[in-house]
Amino acid sequence: MMICAETFVAYAQGVLLINTDIEQLDNTLVLDADNTGGDVTLQFGGTLNKYLQWNSASSLFSFNDDVDLQGNEIKNFRIDNLSSAPICDGSAIGRLYHNTGNMNSYVCNGSAWEQIDVAAGGSITGVDSNTFTIDQDDTGGDVALEFGSSLGEMLAWDDSENIFYLSDGLMSDGDLLPAIDNTYSLGSEDLRWSNIYAVGGLNIENGDVSVGEGGFVVSFNNGQEGVGTTILAGHVLQIDPTEVNAVMLTISQNDQPIGVAVNDTAHGETVNAILIGKGTVMCTGVINVGELIQTSAVVGRAKTGGSSTKIIGSAVTTCTGGFVDAIIHLE
């Protein structure tokens, strides 16, 4: 090949190519040396029609085929910055772009754009990986996995308390087990569960059962016949022999009490009863602090003193307005 300084002359496979719009200056081959403008193309082959082109309208270089870097790095580059998503179809699989509106980056899977990064305070969709790390740069503080932009539901790591936090209830279709035996607590003195429901019994091994002010409560069916609310909070209860797992009001001082109602219910509804603990009991007559409260002949009410009575508990207040606060400890 021969190259001249003024007029470009090249020999390729015996063919002479001359183009006065090309110059070689100081080891630089200049295309469009006369600055006529427009697109400038370096083409390889006539029918092959592969080229590197300067697109003057878009002010960028473009290849019309794949580029193999043979394992070399691409340094100091940015992916396509767009204000909205371009078309994602089968011809765009693997294409990347950065959305300048929400400041997230995406890859085309052939039909939809999948987010591949998380901006500060942003969200992520379409991640397919065995491990996904939030706060990869370890900036610290609370870290949250949010579900939906408007739901307000999240799984968060509370950095100050060193615990995970769920913003709503949790349902499990399997066992819920501690990672280490006999190490962790369910709740605490300051954060307690309101109710614990179980079928088949509550098994506590090698430990104490602490019953708080609310008492040890068991649920029964309301077997008390009648129209409307038949058992009121504070009524003294006994087992109803005519129904399964049902209770009724005591009607005699000889009746065996099994607990004190804590809620108002109608026949057939669920009534909760304190078996052990502190509760409010319906009463009759004079009851002084510290006296034993016992069954009476007044339906569903406690009294003090008398023979052939069954102990319900001990009074911690006087009987006022038909009610007495008491420590329930059944005979």
Q: What is the DSSP string of 100-156?
A: TTTTEEEEE-SSSEEE----TT--------S---SSTT---S-EEEEESTTT-EEEE
For 169-181, the pLDDT digits (tens) are: 888 888 888 889 8
What one-letter code names the amino acid at 138? D
Sorting pLDDT into bands at 50, 70 and 90, what band is 185?
A: confident
Length reported for the chain:
331
Question: How far, in Å, CA of 80 to CA of 102, rounded?
Answer: 14
Q: Where are the domains of the chain?
A: 8-63, 81-115, 143-168, 213-331
Number of H helices, E strands in the chain: 0, 25
By mean pLDDT, which of 92-96, 131-135, 229-233, 300-304 is the weakest? 131-135
Structure tokens given for 230: 């038949």
Give Cβ neighbours of residue 97 (< 8 Å, ≥ 6 apart). Answer: 79, 80, 81, 82, 85, 86, 105, 106, 113
Q: Where on the phi/psi map is residue 21: left (φ > 0), alpha (ψ -120 to 50), or beta?
A: alpha
CB atoms within 10 A of CB 154: 14
Average pLDDT over residues 181-203: 80
Q: What is the DSSP string of 229-276?
A: EEE-TT-EEEE-TTSTTEEEE--STTS---EEE-S-EETTSEEEEEEE
Question: How far, in Å, CA of 260 to CA of 257, rounded?
Answer: 8
Sorting pLDDT into bands at 50, 70 and 90, what band is 115?
A: confident
Nearest to 240 by CA among 265, 215, 214: 265
For 68-96, the pLDDT digits (tens) are: 989 999 899 889 999 999 999 999 999 99
Question: How far, in Å, CA of 68 to CA of 240, rounded?
Answer: 86
Q: Which CATH superfamily does the domain covering 213-331 fall into? A: Head decoration protein D (2.40.300.10)
Question: How far, in Å, CA of 84 to CA of 102, rounded?
Answer: 9
Average pLDDT over residues 293-315: 91
How do strand 216-222 and strand 265-266 relate by DSSP bridges?
A: unpaired
Structure tokens given for 112: 């939809």
Task: Quote the mean pLDDT of the chain.
Answer: 84
Question: How far, in Å, CA of 313 to CA of 278, rounded?
Answer: 9
For 258-275, the pLDDT digits (tens) are: 999 999 999 999 999 999
